[in-house]
Each structure stands twice: as C-alpha cells, then as structure tokens.
Amino acid sequence: MSRKECIFAVLLLSVQAAAQSNPVYQNPTMNQNIVQPPGTSFSANNEAGIYYSPSYYWSQSYVGSLKPGTNKVTLTTCPAGMLVLASPVQPFTRIWLSGGGNSEAVVITATTCPLQGGGNGTQTITFTNVNNYPSGYTLSSASQGIQEAINAANITLNSSSPQFGKVIIPPGAYTALARISILGNKQYIDANGAVLTCTMADTCLFVGDPGGGQNANITTDVTIDGLAVQAGYAGRYTAIEDDASHTTLRGISTRNSSGSYTFFSIIQIDNDQSAVIEKFNPGSQNNWAHCGTDWCSWQSMAQDRSAPTRVCFG
C-alpha cells in the first residue's frame, strides 16, 4: 500500500469512528449532522416534510363513561391530525370509539388540539356518539393513521385554502373502519404496495367536499397513486369517490374480498370536470362485484349531479 493510500484509509476509519461516537439527539434544539455508518439502516417518521401514515396511528383509553349524545373529551396528550376546517366549518375527521362491547365511528365536530399533536393536557375534542361507553373506553384512529397523516400534512399560507403535502402509505395491509377524507389542495398520496380494506357502510376514500356537490372547488389537484382496495363490507358503497377538481387517480386496482363483501363501484366521479384516471385495473381480482336481481356493481361511474341520469363505465 502506498503512503497516500495509507493516509486515505486512516482518514476514512477516523470519519467512521467519529460518526459512531457522535450521539444523535432525538429532540434536538438545533441542526445536527448525521453520518450513517455502512451496513446500517435509516428510517424517519417525517423526513423533509413527507408524512408516513403508520407514524400517525394512535390509541388512548380514558377514565369516565360516555352517554349517547354530544360529548367533549379532555385529552392528556393530543394525537396529531385532529382537524376541523373552519369558514365554513367542515367536520370530516372520523375516529374510532369502542368499549363495553360497543364500537362506532364518530366525527370530530370541534377540537382545541394542535394540528401536530401534543398540548398541555387541557385540549378537547367534541363528537356525538349513539352508544353507551363505560369507564375505560378507547379512542383511536379509524384508519391506522392514514386520515391523521393526511390531516397533519395540512398547512395554510396567506389565508388561502389549505395545502396538503405528500403522504406515504408504505406497502402493507391496512383496514379503514370509517371514511377517509381529503379536503385540501395539492395532496399527493403514494400508496404503491398498500392494500386498503374498506369495512364501513359508506364511501371508503372521499376526495372533496363531504357535503356532496356543494362546492367541488374546495379540494383541487389531489393525486392518489398505486392504491389497491379490498371490499370488507357487503353493500352498495364506492371505494373512491371524487367530488373535487383536477383529481388524478393513478394505478388504482382491486384485491379479492373474502366472503360476500362487495363494492357498488371502485371509482365514482361526482362533479369533477377534469378528473384523470390512469392505469385503472378494476378487474385484476374482481370478486368484489355483485350482480343479481336487486342491483349490479359498476367498475367506475361518472355522475352528473345536475341531471337525474348517471353515465357508467362497466
């Protein structure tokens, strides 16, 4: 080995040793340099403004009981993604309430929680439930963190409409117990490799105004890429409904459902005059479809809310 090669090897070993001895602070108060040693792996919950949905799954139990009706619950620590849009008020964040043999999805109608979670233990969420719940009931994400990650990616600039950033749903199997809603602009959801099982008597993933056709311009330029959907409920409900503007649905596909679970359609376009559907494969595994004397499923459907007819693509 030459003298230059020897000096280079010593410098390289010194850099690796310094990197391994330099601690990485989990709650830094300033920027820090991180050198990743060879042969090790790196992961992050929120890298460069990208939101990873599993990091936003949450579940908390509470002392005290809940009677049917409107209830306000004080949270010890707020999970991230508790969002109710204002002006006009748009409650659309659904969470899962369970305990005492009962369970249901409830919509958060008001909250004082910071969008990114935390708080001082006095923050509240308000919702209306229909069942009784004894002390020790549980509140949790109804979508394994997907809805919360979508909400947490929201920012508002210069009093404009909310801008929703990039969310990654990593490859894997996920279950939605309640509708997942996207109610902002510029959202990009990378779901390549993810399979979402829809178990609710409702639209599974709703892009746009939850009021139904009131204002399709509230949500614009949303892209959902690579999502596979699976029926987990037997009924006439849609997997993905678009009541927004300029929505792009790319690489949407299906997975076989178990039992007699069905979708009415995979994609329903309500009032989006410039929707884009690319590489749509509704029949890759299509036992999600139902056809009988009562009703038949459609692979995708465009609905004109101003007319009594529907244009369907079978």
Q: Spell out the domain ranges in the chain.
A: 57-142, 153-314
Query: pLDDT at residue 212 above 60?
Result: no
Query: pLDDT at residue 215 above 60?
Result: yes
> What is the third-level CATH fold of 57-142?
Immunoglobulin-like (2.60.40)
Rounded to the nearest integer, the mean pLDDT of the chain is 83
The pLDDT value recorded for residue 162 is: 64
The pLDDT value recorded for residue 70 is: 97
Query: pLDDT at residue 143 above 60?
Result: yes
Query: pLDDT at residue 175 above 70?
Result: yes
**Residue pair 125/113 in contact by the 8 Å Cβ criterion:** yes
Q: Where are the beta strands (DSSP E) in 39-179?
A: 46-47, 50-52, 59-61, 69-74, 84-85, 90-91, 94-99, 102-107, 110-111, 124-129, 138-141, 154-155, 163-164, 166-168, 172-176
Confidence of residue 179 (pLDDT cuts 50, 70, 90): very high
The pLDDT value recorded for residue 310 is: 40
Q: Could you identify the residue written with the tokens 């994400």?
A: 141
For residue 46, give every residue at least 6 positions away whose Cβ sits within 8 Å of its Cβ, in sequence order, or none. Answer: 52, 55
pLDDT tens, position by position, 18-47: 545 566 776 677 777 766 666 665 555 555
pLDDT above 90 as % of the chain: 54
**Residue pair 147/184 in contact by the 8 Å Cβ criterion:** no
- Cα of first residue to Cα of last residue in the chain, in angstroms, is 71
Rounded Cα gap, residues 172 and 43, in angstroms: 17
The pLDDT value recorded for residue 87 is: 64
Query: pLDDT at residue 307 above 50?
Result: no
More confident residue, 288 or 106: 106
pLDDT tens, position by position, 60-93: 999 889 999 999 999 889 999 998 887 667 888 9
For residue 251, what are its two tokens? Answer: 């690489």
Task: Return the amino acid letter for 214.
Answer: Q
pLDDT tens, position by position, 110-125: 999 999 999 888 899 9
CA distances from 108 to 72, 111, 112, 121, 180 (A): 10, 7, 11, 18, 13
Query: pLDDT at residue 13 above 80?
Result: no
